[in-house]
């Protein structure tokens, strides 16, 4: 095939190279296709972080008004793509819907100066709730002739197929995920060349919130960690979440996950993040994985630190032996606890209650397993003022378990397409953050007020090691 493949890393912040780009690099490498990674995100960091322009760059596509330094950033972008030839291809992965503004920006600039092909893929193609070939945003991009091909899912198969066909492929391609994709085991020469672990030591990335002595190393390392998948999709169907709609639930054998960890360990890697939505979707496989991993850790002088997203379950359906295994495998946990009100939890489709949350935290505390980040939601459509006040239980709990909780993040509820919640709210898809409950009592302003109230109480408890500074962006999607 003629031409070279350029893997363009458009922003999502912070400055760590997404694992998905390395996965694509591996596919190209195995097919003997020339490729190069264009680290535009890193260039932006190097040139603008801690400058007066940074805030507006960070806010592109998020805030309604901003003083984005268009000409300076465009000049930097053109420098970044200067070696791209007209016979080449630029592949862009949209990590989330927040990457869309950057994708449009990049595509428009490429089109103005180059005749190369542009190929888009990644989770950000879909708005929350969209599936298959349904993406209003992608349709708009095609109408504007800003991309040549759009991959809607399953990049590991779609890209190989496209390479085999010399990119003589349809504009829109959707391949449903029915089995665990063929990813992982990135060879050393790809991971090491491109994942510059030294970035973490750069003083410009110093974060004042890394002040938890017990965790600073682990947390910092995990931000730059190697990513591994054990599962994809989710077994649950929470009303406010679109993970289960985007991707079928698939998992791979626990032994292959541990084998992949060993593969990277031999390359000198000590930090891992299992980038799953629900790492413990299957109790049996989760226990098997923890057992294998704890056995492996017990053989190591230089331990591994790792983190993953864990789902709370009712205590009678949650095996107690996992907590000891978590300690033995040196796990720090991230948990979507979601709400303190049982009424809200039940409406969300959760099977657990506040009692189960307390029980889980007790188990983690007894094994000295840190909760790296607990995620909470306010402004759920049925949430009353009394439900909100149930958060006082959390503030009390945190006073006693301060050591176990490293950080908490409170997000405002958003509503995905196809959600059952659409029956009880009024939604304008032109402005989805402004949905209103049908009794008119829950507006965007009230949701943000509620988040502020929870954040103030959390901050009053003392410095959180992992304090997000971009809270507005996280609140509004």
* Cβ proximity to ligand SF4, 277 vs 437, nearer residue: 277
The answer to whether the peptide bond before residue 69 is cis (omega within 30 degrees of 0) is: no
The distance of closest approach from Cβ of residue 235 to ligand SF4 in the complex, given in angstroms and rounded to an integer, is 7
**Could you tell me if residue 97 is left (phi over 0), alpha (psi between -120 and 50 degrees) or otherwise beta?**
alpha
Report helix, strand or coil for 372.
strand
* Cβ proximity to ligand SF4, 41 vs 278, nearer residue: 278
Contact 427, 129 (CB under 8 A): no
Question: Please, what is the Cα angle at 24 between 141 and 269, to 5 degrees?
Answer: 135
- Is residue 12 a contact residue for ligand SF4 (CB under 6 A)? no
Give me the sheet containing 408-412, strands edge to edge: 226-228, 271-274, 305-311, 331-338, 371-378, 408-412
Q: Locate 201 and state its tokens.
A: 């030591």
* Cβ proximity to ligand SF4, 21 vs 311, nearer residue: 311
The binding track of 383-402 with respect to ligand SF4, each residue x by CB under 6 A or -, is: --------------------
Report helix, strand or coil for 213.
coil
The distance of closest approach from Cβ of residue 380 to ligand SF4 in the complex, given in angstroms and rounded to an integer, is 12
Which residue, 240, 238, 239, 326, is CA-closest to 280?
Answer: 326
- Is residue 254 a contact residue for ligand SF4 (CB under 6 A)? no
Site for ligand SF4 in 286-315 (CB under 6 A): 311
* Cβ proximity to ligand SF4, 277 vs 307, nearer residue: 277
The distance of closest approach from Cβ of residue 311 to ligand SF4 in the complex, given in angstroms and rounded to an integer, is 5
> Applying CB under 6 A, what is the total number of residues that bind ligand SF4?
11
Residue-wise over 315-354: b if at least 16 C-beta within 10 A, else e?
beebeeebbebbebbbbbbbbbbbbbbbbbbebbebebbb
The binding track of 210-249 with respect to ligand SF4, each residue x by CB under 6 A or -, is: ------------------------x-xxx--x-xx-----
- Is residue 337 a contact residue for ligand SF4 (CB under 6 A)? no
The distance of closest approach from Cβ of residue 273 to ligand SF4 in the complex, given in angstroms and rounded to an integer, is 16
Whole-number Cα distances in Å, 404 to 67, 268, 308: 41, 29, 16
Residues 126 and 117: their CA atoms lie apart, in Å, by 21
* Cβ proximity to ligand SF4, 91 vs 234, nearer residue: 234
* Cβ proximity to ligand SF4, 90 vs 243, nearer residue: 243
Report helix, strand or coil for 189.
helix
The distance of closest approach from Cβ of residue 336 to ligand SF4 in the complex, given in angstroms and rounded to an integer, is 5
The distance of closest approach from Cβ of residue 243 to ligand SF4 in the complex, given in angstroms and rounded to an integer, is 4
The distance of closest approach from Cβ of residue 238 to ligand SF4 in the complex, given in angstroms and rounded to an integer, is 3
The distance of closest approach from Cβ of residue 247 to ligand SF4 in the complex, given in angstroms and rounded to an integer, is 10
- Is residue 336 a contact residue for ligand SF4 (CB under 6 A)? yes
* Cβ proximity to ligand SF4, 54 vs 249, nearer residue: 249
Site for ligand SF4 in 261-280 (CB under 6 A): 277-278
Ranges assigned E (strand) in 347-403: 371-378
The distance of closest approach from Cβ of residue 349 to ligand SF4 in the complex, given in angstroms and rounded to an integer, is 7
* Cβ proximity to ligand SF4, 184 vs 336, nearer residue: 336
Question: Please, what is the Cα angle at 399 between 398 and 403, to 5 degrees?
Answer: 70
The distance of closest approach from Cβ of residue 248 to ligand SF4 in the complex, given in angstroms and rounded to an integer, is 13
- Is residue 419 a contact residue for ligand SF4 (CB under 6 A)? no
Report helix, strand or coil for 73.
helix
* Cβ proximity to ligand SF4, 183 vs 311, nearer residue: 311
DSSP conformation class of 240: T
Site for ligand SF4 in 48-67 (CB under 6 A): none
Residue-wise over 95-116: b if at least 16 C-beta within 10 A, else e?
bebbbbbbbbbbbebbeeebeb
Which residue, 307, 325, 334, is CA-closest to 218?
Answer: 307
Residues in contact with ligand SF4 by CB under 6 A are: 234, 236-238, 241, 243-244, 277-278, 311, 336
């Amino acid at each position: 095939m003629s031409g070279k493949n350029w893997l363009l890393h458009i922003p999502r912040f912070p400055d760590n190279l997404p694992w998905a780009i390395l996965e694509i690099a591996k596919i190209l490498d195995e097919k003997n296709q020339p490729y190069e990674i264009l680290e535009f995100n890193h260039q932006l960091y190097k040139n603008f972080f801690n400058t007066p322009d940074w805030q507006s760059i960070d806010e592109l596509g998020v805030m309604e008004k901003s003083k984005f330094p268009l000409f300076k950033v465009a000049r930097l972008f053109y420098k970044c793509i200067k070696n791209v030839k007209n016979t080449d291809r630029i592949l862009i992965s949209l990590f989330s819907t927040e990457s869309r503004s950057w994708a449009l920006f990049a595509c428009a600039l490429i089109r103005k100066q180059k005749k190369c092909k542009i190929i888009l893929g990644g989770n950000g193609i879909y708005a929350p709730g969209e599936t298959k070939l349904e993406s209003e945003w992608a349709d708009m991009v095609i109408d504007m002739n800003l991309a040549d091909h759009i991959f809607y899912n399953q990049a590991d198969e779609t890209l190989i197929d496209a390479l085999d066909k010399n990119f003589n492929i349809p504009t829109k391609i959707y391949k449903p995920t029915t089995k665990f994709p063929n990813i992982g085991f990135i060879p050393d020469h790809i991971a090491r060349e491109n994942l510059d672990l030294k970035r973490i030591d750069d003083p410009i990335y110093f974060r004042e919130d890394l002040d938890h002595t017990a965790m600073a190393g682990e947390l910092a390392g995990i931000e730059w960690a190697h990513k591994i998948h054990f599962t994809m999709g989710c077994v649950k169907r929470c009303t406010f979440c679109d993970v289960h709609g985007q991707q079928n639930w698939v998992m791979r054998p626990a032994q292959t996950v541990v084998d992949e960890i060993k593969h990277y360990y031999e390359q000198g890697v000590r930090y891992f993040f299992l980038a799953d939505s629900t790492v413990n979707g299957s109790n049996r496989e989760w226990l098997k994985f923890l057992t294998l991993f704890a056995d492996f850790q017990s053989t190591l002088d230089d331990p591994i630190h790792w983190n993953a997203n864990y789902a709370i379950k009712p205590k009678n359906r949650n095996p107690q032996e996992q907590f000891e295994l978590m300690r033995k495998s040196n796990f720090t946990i991230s948990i979507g606890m979601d709400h303190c009100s049982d009424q809200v939890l039940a409406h969300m489709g959760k099977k657990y209650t506040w009692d189960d949350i307390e029980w889980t935290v007790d188990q983690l505390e007894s094994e000295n397993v840190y909760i790296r980040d607990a995620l909470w939601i306010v402004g759920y459509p049925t949430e009353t003022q009394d439900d909100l006040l149930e958060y006082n239980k959390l503030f009390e709990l945190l006073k006693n378990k301060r050591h176990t909780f490293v950080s908490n993040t409170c997000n405002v509820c958003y509503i995905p397409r196809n959600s059952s919640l659409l029956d009880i709210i009024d939604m304008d898809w032109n402005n989805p953050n402004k949905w209103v409950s049908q009794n008119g009592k829950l507006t965007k302003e009230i949701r943000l007020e509620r988040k502020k109230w929870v954040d103030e109480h959390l901050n009053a408890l003392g410095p959180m090691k992992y304090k997000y500074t971009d809270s507005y962006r996280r609140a509004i999607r």
